A and B are shown apart, each in its own frame.
Chain A
């Protein structure tokens, strides 16, 4: 069951980015900067990992870089009160430009840059358990960042539902004027949420490059946008996000697998993640429409 095993590996970056995006979403902001933040993390982590020879430092510095850019994004959006969509777009443009420029300056290439010296992401391997069908594929033999994603998911669920911070985050998203009238500063919660998204996007990005031991310009290839879709499909809950990102991972994994023995045009395979995104969004809005109609019906009664 390689398909499932691959699905879990493929979904991990979506999952991580979506967890961070969930925080910003809950405070009432549409965070389209996920893509750019991921890209920053992807670039910085592989560069630092190869420079220091330490996996931990590479990932940590990758995350820190992404958080710093997130801070800039937050400053522009919250303090300078720029339209968050515009500043998010700017963050994405900045990330894709900056990484390419830096790559060229540092390594003299605008294309794929290999880092053969970068440490390999270790796998958590338990051969005995990996042989269990399905469960083994789901839970064992993955690289450590996959597990980081799961830890983040559990942490996110606890923070969102079990802590005062989470309560305030959710309150901010529902009605920031209420939060303000209680003497809290809603913007400080929005800031923290953006920083959290910087953290998880940094981790998500580092997974992409460290897996390859290489940096490819715009390696994120829209994964940040798909993570946004995952948040909505997951109905803005941690569990929903887990399921939605698995569905994505699984679909992509299957299409990769099918490539092996079916005559599918390569272009189609490449387009597949985007196609399911569109289909999923249409399905999602149809379901929502149906639900809101049912709600209205209940209200009428």
Chain B
């Protein structure tokens, strides 16, 4: 008998005019791990929000253990033994773990006062019972992402949940933490819990889930046992066609340097270790320079420096020979430097503004007529972009109601439509499904074809290996390796540089900004050069130091 049975669930969002769930069925057996996969915007989160009572379905039935139930709000869900770990953590950062775990079901003494000791004990008990390793007295703000995830699960278990929903639990975790999480989940099913997990990463789904439900465009399109499908078939079910693995990156002769950095350094405020240490390189017209490394090694700082969001302490940055060191982002944009930031929700877009406003913000001046906007022209421009980049949305919906993939497409099309001679991408496909990612890749390659200089900052090794003409590795604020991506480069070699295991790169890339040294070992590592690996996970995560 199914433990959770959702039948013909429909949910329409009038705000965005989207049928997020269109007669969706989901049937989850007791003590199984059931995965839900689907592209961005397929309606996975919506379905789970309905099960957890955060949204009401327009129609449909939910049965738990064969009995029909009505779930009006999360309180109902909790009472029925359903718990949810959300896509973004729901934790109060200044509170302790024990406070977060017991919040809303506090331990009391004398009826009205908080019983801290009991809260601590109860939390400790759940942690011990389910084999976690956490200190109930620790503050959330001091935890790693992996530990926060554990707290979320402890929180649910404290509420005696039998059905655990996890919405993309791995996107914030490093490889090691993912393995720990999966062990935990398997352990929990042995203890009688049922688990529903949403993920984009098919290899993860294959390794953890017993069964998988595929969703596409608001519909549930298939249910499969994981031992009876492979990830090729899954992705075919998700996208609706066989996945074409990758793009050809045709040869390109780089032209003039467009952006050049000369010995750029940024000191840490306390002056211990420089955040950027004598970084020199250049990006030429018609080439893609990939930049990779583990988070915390200067990639973020470099991203900010190149975009005028952070001041450099020494060194020089030139754009087409013009000194733009420490220029403002505003000035840099005026100079024709485009930027697709990794933080697409805060830095890349204004979530409360409409799609149209987000689209025209960088080119707003061309729509002014004596200081007022010419609405017609704006709408025409907006509609053309949506059509050209085949983005399926309306001009006047707020950006925040779109799915992650659509938001990224809109940012991208805005930056690309400016026809800049330099574009920096930072983690352009983070959190996107395979189809959206491939779309983004094809656009990036298109830019290269139109002779833009492209700097691609990414933690995804497959991505940089597939797209870059040249590849640079940063470690502790230094460029520790520059490689011509000629097909002989292996992931393993780059990995060693990323982790700082190898430091034999002596070249001074600064002199002409184009030095190409340090060849890869050339064993290929199973990576077909010139091909963007579409379906694999972010391999960089298992290189992180934790």
CB of B376, distance to nearest CB on chain A (Å): 32
Q: Are B268 and A167 in contact (CB under 8 A)?
A: no
Residues in chain A near residue B84, CB distance under 8 A:
181
Please report the number of residue pairs spanning A and B whose Cβ atoms sit closer than 8 angstroms.
70
Would you list 14 pairs from A and B whose C-beta atoms are within 8 A, ordered by A residue?
Answer: A163-B113, A166-B114, A167-B114, A174-B93, A175-B91, A175-B92, A178-B92, A180-B74, A183-B73, A183-B74, A183-B75, A184-B75, A184-B104, A301-B268
CB of B154, distance to nearest CB on chain A (Å): 13
Q: Are A301 and B272 in contact (CB under 8 A)?
A: yes
Residue of B nearest to A301 (CB): B270
Residues in chain B near residue A296, CB distance under 8 A:
269
Residue of A nearest to B272 (CB): A301
Q: Are A183 and B77 in contact (CB under 8 A)?
A: yes
With A183-B77, A300-B268 known to touch, is A163 a contact of B86 (CB < 8 Å)?
no
* B108 located at the interface, meaning its Cβ lies under 8 Å from any Cβ of chain A in the complex: yes
Residue of A nearest to B105 (CB): A182
Q: How many residues does chain B have at the interface if contact means C-beta atoms less than 8 Å apart?
A: 30
Bitwise, A172-195 to B at CB < 8 A (1) or not (0) is: 001101111111100000000000
With A174-B94, A181-B54, A181-B74 known to touch, is A168 a contact of B104 (CB < 8 Å)?
yes
Residue of A nearest to B268 (CB): A300
CB neighbors of B among A130-187 (8 A): 162-164, 166-168, 170-171, 174-175, 177-184
Residues in chain A near residue B91, CB distance under 8 A:
175, 178
Residues in chain B near residue A300, CB distance under 8 A:
268-270, 275
Which of the four size classes fits the interface of chain A? 20 to 34
Residues in chain B near residue A181, CB distance under 8 A:
52, 54, 74, 84, 86, 90
* A297 located at the interface, meaning its Cβ lies under 8 Å from any Cβ of chain B in the complex: yes
CB of B123, distance to nearest CB on chain A (Å): 14
* B103 located at the interface, meaning its Cβ lies under 8 Å from any Cβ of chain A in the complex: yes
Q: Are A168 and B103 in contact (CB under 8 A)?
A: yes
CB of A8, distance to nearest CB on chain B (Å): 30
Q: How far is the CA of A171 from the CA of B96 in the complex (A)?
A: 12
With A164-B106, A167-B114, A168-B104 known to touch, is A175 a contact of B90 (CB < 8 Å)?
yes
Residues in chain B near residue A297, CB distance under 8 A:
269-270
With A181-B74, A181-B84, A300-B268 known to touch, is A171 a contact of B112 (CB < 8 Å)?
no
* B95 located at the interface, meaning its Cβ lies under 8 Å from any Cβ of chain A in the complex: yes
* B47 located at the interface, meaning its Cβ lies under 8 Å from any Cβ of chain A in the complex: no
CB of B144, distance to nearest CB on chain A (Å): 15
Cβ-defined partner of B99 (8 Å) among A163, A167, A175, A183: A167
Q: Are B269 and A163 in contact (CB under 8 A)?
A: no
Instruction: Choose among B90, B94, B108, B272 the residue with the greatest number of A CB atoms under 10 Å from its CB.
Output: B90
Q: Are A178 and B94 in contact (CB under 8 A)?
A: no
Q: How far is the CA of A300 from the CA of B267 in the complex (A)?
A: 10
Q: Are A167 and B106 in contact (CB under 8 A)?
A: yes
Residues in chain B near residue A183, CB distance under 8 A:
53, 73-78, 104
Residues in chain A near residue B53, CB distance under 8 A:
183
